[in-house]
Amino acid sequence: MMPEILFGSTNGRNTYEILASPAYIHMVGQREEFSHNDFKKINDVYCSQKCTKKLKECKNNGYPGRDCNDCICPVGYTGKKSIDTRAGSNVALVVEKVETEELIPCVQNKGLEIKYRHDKGATGLVLCGSYENIIIPPTFSRTLLIYHGLEESHEVRISYKERKRKK
C-alpha cells in the first residue's frame, strides 16, 4: 500500500517523496488491496515457523503457500513468453503513449503496469489515463508489462532498447 503523501505528517509537509519516477504520484493513496509484498511480510511474520525449509523454486520474490510445497508468485509471473536480453545487458523502455481509463489513485490491475525494478514482488509503476514519453531506465534485464485495456479506444505504444550494463 502507498499511503497518502501527508500520512503521519505533524507539520503539514510531505512525509516522503517519490524518487523513482514522477508518474508514481498518481498511485499515492492506494488502499484498495494489500500488495504481494504486504502479504509476503504477513506470511513471514505469522507462517515462517510452519514452513521451516525455504522453497528454492520461489522465484521473483515469491513465498511458500499454505501447504509449504508451492509458491505464491507476484502478479504476472506465470507463463513462458518473454524477450530476454543478452548477458550483461538491461532493458530501457519508452512508454510512447498510454490511453486508458483515468483513475486516481491508479491501482494494480488497471491501466498499464510496468515492473522494472529488481524486487518483482513490489507493485510496478501503474499508469492510468493519458501519458506520453515516460522513460523507464535500464535498471534490470527483465521488465514485465501487464496491460488492462477495457475500451476499444484504449491503447499502449512502447519501444525498448537493450543497453549494456554499467560496471
- pLDDT single digits (tens) 18-65: 666 666 666 666 666 677 888 888 888 888 777 766 656 677 778 888
Q: How far apart are CA 26 and CA 97, in angstroms?
A: 17
49 vs 115 pLDDT, higher one: 115
User: What is the value of pTM for the model shown?
Assistant: 0.61
Band (pLDDT 50/70/90 cuts) for residue 97 is very high
* Count of Cβ atoms closer than 10 Å to residue 1 Cβ: 13
* Grid cell locating 93: 523502455
pLDDT of residue 50: 79
Greatest CA separation found in the chain?
Answer: 50
Tell me what the pLDDT averaged over the chain comes to: 78
